Amino acid sequence: MATTIAEVIADQLSRDPEEGAIQFHGKWYSRGWLKAFVDKIDAALAAAGVPEDAPIGFAPHNRPPFAAALVALFSRQRPIVMIYAYQSPEAIANKLRELKLPAVIAGIEQWTDPTLSAARDLGSAAIALSDDGAEVELLESWKAVPGVEQRKADGIPGVALLTSGTTGPPKHFEISYEKLLKRMVIATEFGATERNPLFSFFPLGNISGIYIIVPAIASGQPIIMVDKFNVADWVAFVKQYKPEFLGVPPAAFRMILDADVDYEDIKSLKLLNTGAATLDPALRREFEAKYPICVTQSYGATEFGGIVTITTPDHVKEFGNSKADSVGRACPGVKLRVVDVDTGADLPAGQEGRLLVFAPGMSEDYIETTDLVMLDADGFLYHRGRLDGAIMRGGFKIVPEQVMEALNRHPQVAASAVVGMAEPRLGAVPVALIQPRDMADAPDAASLDAHVRSLLPKTMIPTDYRMVEALPRTPSLKIDMGAAKRMFEAA
């Protein structure tokens, strides 16, 4: 009996080659195609001379070839280092130079002069995937370069995911295949009883995306994949397959309302669960007033190995709508503590403080977060905000200091402040106050935008820039972020 991720995947790939595995833009990709593509990835890595235990950089888009590449790496339990794909070639090249990986798999459009130059300088194998899933092309072979110490596998092989930053600035967080195996509950429990396809919109480089794609393929459950969440594809999926329960991102609720979706098209739904960011209570009430669908929330992070709290249908039956704004109760085995932000002392139910999480299998101790929460007497968790001042743009967490650091590298910028401004669909967006080196020679928005786009993912790009003579500061000369936000609103 198959008991590892690799064994379960190999078993599924050996079955009916004509059966549909992934649908994308209306086209089905069969299990036979999936197996052939997995073999092409294996062949490309072998032809490149990449050592079997070498870490592989992976910059995935939400497309079938990247899902197949992910399966190939999982089936061989190759160490994976995720690279954020949705950024400029220059930013990706900078990341490659930082990581010094023996091999990198990316889309053909991402292999431009800057990225190829970085691969050659580092001796990294460069493997390109075509959009149509037809080709796996080896652009550069692996080699040793004098003076370059390439990254090596560190201990037990696993996946180095980019965190959302819940427990601090975004960083690589490695989860071993052994832990992923336990979290996904494969082997006999992996078998799907519901044969309807899964609707996949989470990024493949995200833990949520992996938790959909890999178990679905390992269980033989078909996948309907989209580039990113959009109302038209989502409604079409619900109309055709009539699911009763689905997960959606927080931004989806405003998008569905704005699209004035006909309830008749989605009436099979009994419950929608959301996570990644707290759902605005007013938006939830507006949605539930229009659609008789129960909305529940969950909470998790890469550092926890996924979701650690959730509101279940049973909770709704017991408590009705009284816990609707909660992100749920602790999942089995999970323990929560709320402590005083300053002293670290445990707080009683009903008081707000910093959240600490014990996630079984992920850490031997509690993991400290930067989330401000309240735990009620019934054990339901309420998310109150971010202690680190992070901006939640839809499901993406933006650390202002990272954007400020990039802006401050512009030659005409003396200092900057980045704050979040409310936005109906995404919850909040970053905006920037700029203190120019010379007010008479201040940079324009286009110059700032191009500069930041060369350094950061597009989700972190400010939506507006305002020039000021001087940024507001505290007596200790730190930038006063509250005053900066008020200044931006008044400008």
Among 56, 60, 61, 62, which Cα is nearest to 76's? Answer: 56
Residue 218 lies in a domain: no
Q: What is the pLDDT of residue 189?
A: 35
User: Do residues 420 and 455 share a domain?
Assistant: yes
Nearest alpha-carbon partner for 309 in 388, 215, 375: 375
Whether the CB-CB separation of 173 and 303 falls below 8 Å is answered with yes
pLDDT score, position 86:
82
**Does residue 132 belong to any structural domain of this protein?**
yes
Domain count for the chain, please give it: 3
Q: What is the pLDDT of residue 165?
A: 44
pLDDT of residue 193: 42
Q: In this structure, are residues 357 and 375 in contact, taking their beta carbons and an 8 Å threshold?
A: no
Asked if residues 452 and 461 have their Cβ atoms less than 8 Å apart, the reply is: yes
Is residue 215 included in any domain, yes or no? no
Q: Does residue 64 share a domain with residue 24?
A: yes
Select from 333, 356, 386 the last residue of a domain.
Answer: 386
375 and 397 share one domain:
no
254 φ, ψ (degrees, to nearest 5): -65, -40
Q: Which residues make Cβ contacts (< 8 Å) with residue 27, sequence separation at least 6?
A: none
Residue 376 lies in a domain: yes
Q: What is the pLDDT along the chain (491 residues), one digit of tens a residue?
A: 556 667 778 888 888 999 999 999 999 999 999 999 999 999 999 999 999 999 999 999 999 999 999 999 998 899 999 998 888 899 999 999 999 999 999 999 999 999 999 999 999 999 999 988 788 999 999 999 999 999 988 778 899 987 654 333 457 888 888 887 776 653 233 333 456 899 999 888 888 888 889 888 888 899 999 998 899 999 999 999 999 999 998 878 888 998 999 999 999 999 999 986 678 787 898 899 999 999 999 998 888 888 899 999 999 999 999 999 999 999 999 999 999 988 999 999 999 899 999 998 888 899 999 888 999 999 999 987 767 777 888 878 787 878 988 898 899 998 899 999 888 888 889 999 999 989 999 999 999 999 999 999 988 999 999 999 988 876 545 688 888 988 988 87
Q: Is 195 exposed, middle or buried (0-12, 13-18, 19+ CB in 10 A)?
A: exposed
The single residue listed with the structure tokens 């960011």 is 277
Indicate whether 316 and 376 sit together in one domain. Answer: yes
Whether 17 and 164 share a structural domain? yes
CATH number of domain containing 440: 3.30.300.30
Residue 31 covered by a domain: yes
378 and 426, same structural domain?
no
State residue 329's pLDDT score: 96
In a domain, 227, yes or no: no
Same domain? For 47 and 173 the reply is yes
The answer as to whether 87 is a domain residue is yes
Instruction: Identify the burial level of 189 via C-beta atoms within 10 angstroms of its C-beta, where 0-12 means exposed, 13-18 middle and 19 or more buried.
Output: exposed
| Torsion 264-270-275-281 (CA) sign | positive
Q: What CATH number is given to the structural domain containing 148?
A: 3.40.50.980
Q: What single DSSP character describes residue 279? A: P
Based on the domain organization, do 353 and 407 belong to the same domain? no
418 touches 390 (CB < 8 A): no
Q: Starting at the edge strand that comes first in sequence, how are the strands of the sheet with 136-140 ordered?
A: 136-140, 125-129, 103-107, 56-59, 80-82, 158-162, 172-176
Domain that holds residue 474: 391-490
Question: What pLDDT is stored for residue 477 in this prediction?
Answer: 58
User: Which CATH number characterizes residue 253's domain?
Assistant: 3.40.50.12780
- The pLDDT of residue 354: 93
136 and 19 in a common domain: yes
Token representation of residue 35: 């197996």
- Do 330 and 251 share a structural domain? yes
**What number of helices (H) and strands (E) belong to the chain?**
15, 25
If asked whether residues 131 and 246 sit together in one domain, one would say: no
Domain final position from 139, 163, 181: 181
Do 138 and 279 lie in one domain? The reply is no
- What pLDDT, on the 0 to 100 scale, is given for residue 288? 95
Residue 198 within a domain: no
Contacts of 460 (CB under 8 A, 6+ apart): 396, 398, 402, 403, 430, 452
Sign of the alpha-carbon dihedral angle for 40, 119, 73, 227: negative
Choosing from 386, 406, 428, the residue where a domain stops is 386
Q: Which amino acid is it at 367? A: I
